[in-house]
Chains A and B, each alone.
Chain A
Amino acid sequence: MNKILGILLLLVFVCVGTTLLNDAFVESFNMQNIVRYSAFYGIIGIGVAMVIITGGIDLSIGSVIGLVGCVLPMLLVDNGWSVPASLAAVMLLALIIGLTHGLLITKMRLQPFIVTLCGLLVYRGLARWITSDQTKGFGSEFNDSLRLLAIGKPCSVAFLTLLAGIGVTLGSGWQLMRSRRTIDVTTEGSTARWHLPTVGIILGLLLIVIGGSRFAHGYEINAGGTLVSLGSIDIPGWSTRVHPDGVELPRQFMLWAGLGVIPGVLWLMVVLGGRNPRSIVLPLVLVGVAAGLVWGATWLVDRPDDWFWKGKKLVDDTSWWGGNWARTWRIVAVFSSLGLLMASLAWLGQQAVRIAGTAATAPLLLTTSCAILWLLSQTPLGETLVPAPFIVLMLMAFAASIFLNQTIYGRYLLALGNNEEAARFSGINTDRMILLAYVLCSLAAGLGGILFALDTNSIQPASHGNFYELYAIAAAVLGGCSLRGGEGTILGVVIGAAVMRVLYNSINLIGIPSQLEFAIIGLVILLGVVADEMVKRIASRQQSS
């Protein structure tokens, strides 16, 4: 849980920082693209997470994507297979690949690294051979049907918000009813459990109002097509055209809801400050100072030409690294002051929990949600449509988390990842579970391959999907999977994939030379892992002392 919180904060940090530096980040076109590509990486990331949880690795994902990307258009276009048959055929191919990996690893006791490294080479070679290195594509024939799976935008954010609201409300309600039955277990955990559903219901209702108000106004749904018709429901009387006021109303609603931050802060100051002023006032002051710095960094540093001292220009525009001094200054100032702000907010939250115990979680969560709503109200989220791959990802993430958390097999995977021997001694067929993990991973890679191919429409056999396994692994690791096995959450992987994509986008938008792209992504991942390790060490030291 803490890990997910950490990576989520990183995501917010990069998003807010980038927006402060360049508004283009929150434009609906850009957001749609980020979401679409995050979804691609999330899909393959979830697959590889299954393998990483067992303590293994799959390096062949990129080549599987390349091979699938070549085979699919060949079957569909060159050989004229039907859509379902072609999709089934490539998924079967992925299944066979996964089975092969799994069998080699469990029956022959080969190392996963070697097996999948060989896979990486073999599938890439096969892809190049069957296509004779010719670029493959779907032409324009499938633009209104199959390709919509990758490039379609079947519904509005509002529609999804409404759905999410209904889901959260129902889920929290169920939790609330369930917890009532066990409320007599008076441990710290269950008190919190009682509060969280209440917060969940309030949040869910809020989402329903926000989403519903927008959904009622409706948006043009441009996914006609045969395959993707999600959300293209035309409810009589509800216009499917954009209402002129459709954008403003929910945004203002969110803005007002966001003002809920104020009672939250007041609550912090009065209730907690009354109990222990020093521990709450200091972080509050720090939050104020940091907010001022962020404001200063975005507002003042924005105008370096206006900075004079005794008639001399303070900030020189001489090129320093690929850009200019002013821009570099701004990036550093914005991100560091934002980091300070977030750190002091985290400190504030920690102090609140320390003073008020678990009772603080509910008000803190509400305050945080209000703050997020306020942030969202500053974005043109209303005009944003949801890319189809994101819906695929959501369905897959939902299924994967049910698998991992609610089924006995998910528990088996986590257990054997932590201690394979103990799992075996407990009567678990560890070989079969590991096999399953590799099959799931390759199937996810196959699905990702289909989507990537449909998205590009121009598949270079030699390079399509190159390095994608590393993006997937990076997303999984950022999302809290340990390469030692036994650890990992689906939500974490999805957020990890989003961080990768947002970082990439951010680098382009804030004017860092794109040559540095890999270096920066690498450093961020490294910092994330180092921070995680340090937190772990501090925790274990506190435990032992």
Chain B
Amino acid sequence: MTSVTESPLLSVHRACKSFPGVRALHEVDLTLNKGEVLAVIGENGAGKSTLMKILAGVQLPDSGDIRLDGTPIVIDSVQTALSHGIALIHQELNLSGNLDVGANIFLGREPRRFGLIDKQRIREESKQVLSLVGLDVSPDTLAGSLSIGRQQLVEIAKALSTDARVLIMDEPTSSLSHGESERLFEVIRDLRRRGVSIIYISHRLGEVKDLADSVCVLRDGENAGELGHDEITHDSMVRLMVGRDVSQFYARQPHKPGASLLEVAGLRTSTYPSEELSFTVRAGEIVGVAGLVGAGRTEMLRTLFGVDPMLAGTIRVDGQPIALHSPRDAINAGLALVPEDRKAEGLVIDMPVRSNVSLASLRRHRRLGVFRNESAERSDTSAMIDKLNIKTPSAEQIARLLSGGNQQKVVLGKWLTMSPRVLFLDEPTRGIDVGAKQEIYSLMETLAEQGVAVLFVSSEMEEILGMADRALVMHEGRITGELTREQLSEEAVMHLATGGADAA
């Protein structure tokens, strides 16, 4: 597309970045030419976000160099990145819904006149950038009154108003409808014609195939390969993303599942009220739930656990229908949920390990109806510290001070003291180190062998492929397919997760 002799617009060479316990990026290279759409793909945790944060000045790399037009630059803040013409559009919208569109576009760098905000100039310049993205709204419109798709376009207009030469878009379509996505693609193509370079991050391989001039694949924080325009196919991308021998990490025996333990029929969640979910999980079975972000998997678990209201449907545990109005009902029925966000939902983060492990079982052990049984708390906690190998100086350590993996084990410990019959896990290994991951996998194994029904949600393809006896794949609130262990493959899951079954 661009002439070969010209040096690339932006290049990253041997970038490294580590966080405590995690190596996020290791000697990653990236090259972006002028007027090019470069797609960066990879599984969750492959290092895409870290790389983009480095380019946008949110984080500094530990080593490696970044060149713009062949000149080495240091991007130490978002302001520096913007002054070099690099703008990042976050996955979550960052607009102030209470301000109008013009004010949002110029937020933090309002043009002044006599010391006051020059509203006239904001209006005029906003109109210009809005027309660039093909958005026909008045700059005086309240940002919050626009649809999500239009807000996304305002975000892009905001980035363009800073004279950005490089636009980084982090999963821009994750919350857009089909029509809105199409509109966005047109804008992207139009920007490309104007010479703006775009780094496009997405899980949706179909979009990537349509849009990208080249593809950079990351895996475990390293370059897994690059694909030129003609090489971009669904298969080639998946091959590079998964890459390694999956079975090694998850060496495990398939289970002989028992009788069906959890039966869900016609479940409607408040997020997708029009979709009905039905499935069963048998005793001693590990069932994975795959799907893209926003497919309604977390919402399904929340509803099954009584956190979110259940609009319709029946849930049977061991054949007995249960009435589900609150988490307490779920717990009484023998269910347990390790939630997605352990800091917000799993842990009372400023309390000691002991208080966290005992929080759910306090009621069970109470004396005289109201009094805590402290010795039961202590023995439960030390049992869990041993069993789960929680690395903590003592049971009285504040949960906040533990590492992510150990925090997750504390949450697991809380539920294991309740000896649940059905265990729900939502992204059980997100943000934790490899060692702790392995321990959590083997714990899931052990529980399944003891006859617990395990249902886990994961966005990591490998986890689904490696751990699940059976997988449910969800897309936009619907279970689009069910795959047995024999049928499980990256392609099959991706196909169903992107709504492939509907199209076929």
Chain A contacts to B: CB under 8 angstroms: 187, 189, 406-412, 414-415, 418-419, 421-429, 486-487, 543
A-contact bits for B443-474, CB 8 A (1 contact / 0 none): 00000000000000000000000000000000
Q: List 20 A-B contacts (CB under 8 A).
A: A407-B370, A408-B362, A408-B371, A411-B372, A414-B351, A418-B349, A422-B347, A423-B348, A424-B327, A425-B345, A425-B346, A426-B327, A426-B359, A426-B414, A427-B327, A427-B332, A427-B363, A428-B359, A487-B350, A543-B401
Give Cα A449 to B359, complex, Å. Answer: 36
Given contacts A418-B349, A425-B346, A426-B414, contact A407 B371 (CB under 8 A): yes
A409 CA to B305 CA in the complex, in Å? 22
Q: Determine the chain B residues whose CB is within 8 A of the CB of A424 once the complex forms.
A: 307, 327
Give the shortest distance, in Å, between A331 (CB) and chain B (any CB).
39
Most buried by B among A409, A410, A419, A422: A422
- With A and B bound together, what is the CA distance between A486 and B345 in angstroms? 15
Contact check, A415 vs B359: say whether CB atoms are below 8 A apart.
Answer: yes
Question: Chain B contacts of A410 at CB under 8 A?
Answer: 372
The CB with the most chain B CB atoms within 10 A, among A187, A421, A543, is that of: A421
Residue of B whose beta carbon sits closest to that of A419: B348
* Closest B residue, CB atoms, query A421: B345
Task: Sort chain B's interface into a size bin.
Answer: 20 to 34
Cβ–Cβ contact B366 & A408, under 8 A = yes
B287-346 residues with Cβ-Cβ distance < 8 A to A are: 305, 307, 326-328, 330-332, 337, 339, 344-346
In the bound assembly, the distance between CA atoms of A84 and B200 in angstroms comes to: 75
Which B231-279 residues have a C-beta within 8 angstroms of A? none
Q: Are B348 and A408 in contact (CB under 8 A)?
A: no
Also in contact, A425 and B327, with CB within 8 A (given A189-B396, A408-B366): yes
Say yes or no for B173: interface residue by CB 8 A criterion: no
Tell yes or no: B355 within 8 A of A by CB: yes
Q: Does B148 contact A (CB under 8 A)?
A: no
Q: How far is the CB of B469 from chain A (nearest CB, A)?
A: 26
Q: Is B394 an interface residue (CB 8 A)?
A: yes
A421–B414 alpha-carbon span in the complex (Å): 15
Given A415-B359, A419-B349, A421-B345, answer yes or no on A429-B326 (Cβ-Cβ < 8 Å): yes
In the complex with contacts A189-B394, A426-B327, A427-B327, A409-B370 CB distance below 8 A: yes
Once the chains are docked, how many angstroms separate the CA of A141 from the CA of B170? Answer: 78
User: 12 new A-B pairs (CB below 8 Å) besides A419-B348, A423-B359, A486-B350?
Assistant: A409-B370, A411-B359, A414-B355, A422-B347, A425-B337, A425-B345, A426-B414, A427-B326, A427-B332, A429-B326, A486-B351, A543-B401
A425 and B339 within 8 A (CB): yes
List residues of chain A with CB within 8 A of the CB of B307.
424-425
Q: How far is the CB of A292 from chain B (nearest CB, A)?
A: 42
CB distance from B406 to the nearest CB of A (A): 16
Q: How far is the CB of B359 from chain A (nearest CB, A)?
A: 4
Please pick, from A408, A415, A422, the residue contacting B363 in the complex, using a CB distance under 8 A. Answer: A408
Taking the closest CB of chain B, its distance from the CB of A148, in whole angstroms, is 32
Q: Kindly state the separation between the CA atoms of A411 and B401 in the bound complex, as whole angstroms.
A: 20
**Across the interface, which residues of B come within 8 angstroms of A187, CB to CB?**
394
Contact A406 B371 (CB under 8 A): yes
Q: How far apart are the CA atoms of A414 and B360 in the complex, in Å?
A: 14
Bound CA span A406–B367, Å: 10
User: How far apart are the CA atoms of A187 and B397 in the complex, in Å?
Assistant: 13
Residues on A with C-beta less than 8 A from B326 are 427, 429
Within 8 Å by CB of B328, from A406, A414, A429, A487, lies: A429
Q: Once the chains are docked, how many angstroms separate the CA of A190 from the CA of B4? A: 72
List the A side residues contacting B348 at CB < 8 Å. Answer: 415, 418-419, 422-423, 486
Q: Which residues of A are found within 8 Å of B360, using beta-carbon distances? A: 426-427
In the bound complex, CA of A543 to CA of B433 (Å): 21
Q: Within residues 202 to 220 of chain B, which ones have a CB less than 8 A from any CB in chain A?
A: none
Query: Contacts A407-B372, A543-B401 given: A418-B396 contact, CB under 8 Å?
Result: no
Alpha-carbon separation in the docked complex, A427 to B359 (Å): 9
Q: Are A418 and B351 in contact (CB under 8 A)?
A: yes
Q: Is the CB of A422 within 8 A of B394?
A: no
CB <8 Å contact, A421 and B344? yes
Please give, as numbers and ranges, the residues of chain A lying within 8 Å of B350 by CB-CB distance.
Answer: 418, 486-487
- Residue in A408, A414, A429 with the greatest tally of chain B CB atoms within 10 Å: A408
Give complex CA distance A543, B393 in Å.
Answer: 14
